[in-house]
Structure 1
Amino acid sequence: MSAESLERQTRSFLNDNVPQIQEHGGHFEIEDVDDETGEVTVVIGGACSGCGIAPMTMRAIRHRLPDEVEDLSKVTVRRANGPRAAVMPNKTDEMEEMDEYEDYSPPF
């Protein structure tokens, strides 16, 4: 599979299945694609940077994307860095590990 095809499939899944990101003022970027290993890195930003449910959205993308994109072996999802990234990373990390979010199923 070519990197372009892997990237195109990833973008298509995100556009079709995670419209809430854009509807709520966020955005995503496909930062890196490695066609040899099947690894993709997705960055979410904009309003996602300060959103309390972003960790759950990130987890859902990590778990669902490999099931939907052929030849995708690993997904890394992170928040965008920079001056507009108004988030407390230590709290975000804690949220990702909380049992309450283990079975969270966002509407995509």
Structure 2
Amino acid sequence: MSDLAERVETWMVGQMPIIQMHGGTSVVREADAEEGVVVVELGGTCSGCGISDLTAQNIKRDLIMDFDEVDEVHVKVPDTGEMGSSTVEGGRGGDLQYSTESSDHF
């Protein structure tokens, strides 16, 4: 995992505890400091949650504000609710499944 990915993971734990508190999960799928791109995937109860789009927008805005090298953030929000069985400490991680049917979701 890259230094940027590790820093974004740490940031997610500190800044977005609401995700875990509500049974959701998040995974940093990509963090490229040279390109300025971060891809975060939400899972668990984020699937179908009425505020998942708001959470995604907050993550996008805040990551760009808090990390000078980040210019573009994509947050994938699952539509299916399917989540892989492997998780890491704090209920984060795992192989998340998501749909690309909605144009609002990556």
TM-score, normalization: structure 2? Answer: 0.72
User: Of 27, 32, 41, which aligns to 1:29?
Assistant: 27
Q: Contact 2:28 / 2:38 at 8 angstroms: preserved in 1?
A: yes
What are the superposed Cα offsets for residues 24-49 of structure 1, whole Å, 9 maximum, x if unpaired? 11000111122320211000010001
Matches within 5 A, 1:1-108: 4-80=2-78, 84=82, 90=102, 93=104
Q: Give the letter aligned to residue 46 of structure 2.
A: C
Higher alpha-carbon Rg: 1
Structure 1 residue runs of 5 or longer lacking an equivalent are: 97-108
In the alignment, what sits opposite 1:104?
none
Identity of paired residues, percent? 29
Change (3 A) 1:83 1:14: closer
Higher helix share: 1
Q: Contact 1:32 / 1:41 at 8 angstroms: preserved in 2?
A: yes
Misfit runs of 4+, over 6 Å: none
Structure 2 residue runs of 5 or longer lacking an equivalent are: 83-96
> CA separation in 2, counterparts of 1:13 and 1:75?
14
> What is the Cα-based RMSD across aligned positions, in Å?
2.6
Change (3 A) 1:45 1:65: same
